[in-house]
Chain A
Amino acid sequence: MDEYALIMRHEDGKKIASPEQMERWMKQTMDWIGSIAAQNKFVSGTGLPFDGARVVATKNSKPVVTNGPFGEIKETIGGFIVVKADSIDEAVEFAKGCPVLQGEGNSMEVRRIAKNDGVH
């Protein structure tokens, strides 16, 4: 069984949701993760808060650090979880349940974890 990262991508990280909306998303996200964990397929995961975030880029061969906002980058990553799955298809099924997808333009990226696979 492989491990896959399910990465939550937001189309626009600047959108501000109401506290009620945030709370609803939080519950849905917890229920989604709980569902995967109840199948014994959850490995780890975390949200990635925007506040206090930094972007490090290179300009004229020098690192440039900005506080965001992430306006220049179209997409931002809101968090990820790592799951166990027999196939990429099973991992995709898990990803389909993520409440992030309720936001128009948001997406889930599903990537196999290379660590410990004997190749990487």
Chain B
Amino acid sequence: MHRQELIPHLFRTEFRKITAVLCKLFGIEHIELAEDIAGETFLSALENWPYKGIPENPVAWLYAVAKNKAKNHIHRNKIFTEKVAKQLILGSSTFEDVDIDLSEKNITDSQLQMLFALCHPSIPAEAQVGLSLRILCGFGIDEIANAFLTNKETINKRLFRAKEKLRTEKVKIEFPSKEDIDDRLEIVLTTLYLLFNEGYYSESEDAILREDLCSEALRLVCLLIENKQTNQPDVNALFALMCFHASRFRARKNEKGEMILYEDQDDTLWDQDLITKGSYHLHEASQGNKISKYHLQATIAYWNTRKQDTKEKWENILQLYNRLLQLEYSPIAALNRTYALSKANGKQQAIIEAEKLNLTGNHFYFTLLGELYTDIDDKKGKTKFSTSFVIRKNANRQTNDPKKIR
């Protein structure tokens, strides 16, 4: 990996680990300090590596620098020394002894506890997701703004207020109590689901980055599965969903980074290990009697790991979408349901249903209509496809062009 790619890559994977460990050590009220030290660590890498070369073990280098910076800060900052250092867990020892533990175990524990701290019910769900993306996933503010379809300023304000709230509520970085765990877990799962989607549906040409995001999401869900208290059915269902989707990673884009449609994918490129893993966790998820949206989506994704077009497959997928939409509406689920309907009940019925969807601003809607009219009224089908193209082009002009100019 080249240096230009290496530092952003490490930033994505290591920034949050350093931040989580330091924040756990300092307390949530010093979350910004933890972020700053982690950020300065990467600044050092940017300054040093071009001249001195990439260190043999870049991660160890980053951890060493982060530890030094944290210790220096404790020495240097009088207020911090007097007010905070005293309350550190290792309060009785001298500052030289402060153990900044960047071992794998402590990183894991700190991240899991941070995950729950950030998803505290005192702050709005949206801010929780944003904070988690920032602190636990090392997302840039602009990337978060993109994910929420808003601007950087809004996100900055939202994160600032959320951090204030964490401070005033004196949220502890610890594992939630037994009574709270279900509610808290739900928000955590939403965050991880968004993180995965950010990677999976991103239009970025940076394949490494996209895969990184997905594997990080998988890793965080895995943290929850490895912990006995959070190894719940819906956590397993989400994990299964991610495995099934990720199994198609290598098959869904060509060398140029262009999307390959499901029907045209080379299914020998589908990762069978991930499919097996997903099936195992979907089975684990079937314990208990709660059916979450992740169960339904994972089961749909399971059917999609069977490429063969059978009546059974599409009837199952249709019924799963029928149930999913009752739990939670989304335009994409509505469109996919209508596609499944055309496969299970025929195109004529699907066209009638599609016309009711009222999604005329969505280019996928017209792609679906184009697909449905093909072989029934080809001329109309073509018109729908070109409408889809125009909507998409206009949307790209609005969102993508400024980036290209920069």
- Please give the residue numbers on chain A whose beta carbons come within 8 Å of chain B beta carbons, in ascending order: 27, 30-31, 33-35, 37-40, 42, 45
Q: How far is B334's CA from A39's CA once the two chains are assembled, in angstroms?
A: 7
B 293-337 binary contact with A (CB < 8 Å = 1; else 0): 000000000000000000000010011011101100100011001
Least CB separation from B329: chain A residue: A40
How many angstroms between the C-alpha atoms of A37 and B338 in the bound complex? 11
Q: What's the Cα separation between A42 and B333 when bound, in Å?
A: 14
The residue in chain B whose Cβ has the minimal distance to the Cβ of A41 is B329
- Chain A contacts for B353, CB-based, 8 A: 35, 38
Q: How far is the CB of B61 from chain A (nearest CB, A)?
A: 52
The answer to whether B356 touches A34, judged by C-beta atoms less than 8 angstroms apart, is: no
Q: Is B230 an interface residue (CB 8 A)?
A: no
Known A-B contacts: A30-B322, A33-B326. Give 6 more (CB < 8 A): A30-B319, A31-B345, A33-B322, A34-B337, A37-B322, A38-B325
Please determine whether B334 and A31 come into contact, CB atoms closer than 8 angstroms. no
Q: Is the CB of B325 within 8 A of A42?
A: yes
Is the C-beta of B358 less than 8 angstroms from some C-beta in chain A?
yes
In the complex, residue of chain A having the shortest beta-carbon distance to the beta carbon of B327? A37
Taken together as a complex, chains A and B put the C-alpha atoms of A30 and B315 apart, in Å, by: 11
A40–B334 Cα distance when bound, in Å, is 8
Asked if residues B337 and A38 are in contact (CB atoms below 8 Å), the reply is yes
A30 to B344, CA, bound (A): 13
Nearest A residue to B328 via CB reads A37
Which of B321, B357, B358 sits near A34, CB closer than 8 Å? B321
A-B contact pairs, 28 of them (CB 8 A): A27-B315, A30-B319, A30-B322, A30-B323, A31-B318, A31-B345, A33-B322, A33-B326, A34-B318, A34-B319, A34-B321, A34-B322, A34-B337, A35-B353, A35-B356, A37-B326, A37-B329, A37-B334, A38-B333, A38-B337, A38-B338, A38-B353, A38-B357, A39-B334, A39-B356, A40-B334, A42-B325, A45-B326
Q: Name the A residues within 8 Å of B322 (CB-CB).
A: 30-31, 33-34, 37
B351 within 8 A of A: no
A79 CB, nearest partner CB in chain B, Å: 14
CA gap between A40 and B362 in the complex, in Å: 15
Question: A30 vs B320: C-alpha distance in the bound complex, in angstroms?
Answer: 10
Q: Report A-chain residues with C-beta under 8 Å of the C-beta of B341.
A: 31, 34
B300 CB to closest chain A CB (Å) equals 13
Contact A39 B318 (CB under 8 A): no
Which B367-386 residues have C-beta < 8 A from chain A? none
Q: Which residue of B lies closest to A38 (CB)?
A: B334
Residue from B318, B322, B353 whose CB has the most chain A CB atoms within 10 Å: B322
Distance in Å: Cβ of B141 to nearest Cβ of chain A: 31
A12 to chain B: closest CB distance in Å?
Answer: 28
Find chain A residues with CB under 8 A from B356 CB: 35, 38-39
Residues of B within 8 A of A40 (CB): 329, 334
Q: Which residue of B is nearest A43, CB measured?
A: B326
B358 contacts A39, C-beta separation under 8 Å: yes
Q: How far is the CA of A40 from the CA of B319 in the complex (A)?
A: 17
In the assembled complex, which residues on chain A have CB atoms less than 8 Å from the CB atom of B321?
A: 34, 38
Which residues from A are CB-within-8-Å of B325? 34, 37-38, 42
Chain A residue with Cβ nearest B315: A27
Q: Within residues 336 to 360 of chain B, which ones have a CB less than 8 A from any CB in chain A?
A: 337-338, 341, 345, 353, 356-358
Task: Given A30-B319, A34-B318, answer yes or no on A39-B357 (Cβ-Cβ < 8 Å).
Answer: yes
Identify which of A27, A34, A45 gathers the most chain B CB atoms within 10 Å of its CB: A34
Docked pose: A65 CA to B380 CA in angstroms: 61
Contacts of A30 on B, CB cut-off 8 Å? 319, 322-323
Q: Complex Cα distance A22/B321, Å?
A: 21
Residues of B within 8 A of A37 (CB): 322, 325-326, 329, 334
Q: How far is the CB of A92 from chain B (nearest CB, A)?
A: 15
Do A42 and B326 touch across chains, with their CB atoms under 8 A apart? Answer: yes
Pick the most buried of A27, A38, A40: most chain B CB atoms within 10 A of its CB: A38
B108 to chain A, nearest CB (A): 40
- A38 contacts across to B, CB distance below 8 A: 321, 325, 329, 333-334, 337-338, 353, 356-357
Complex CA–CA separation, A31 to B314 (angstroms): 13
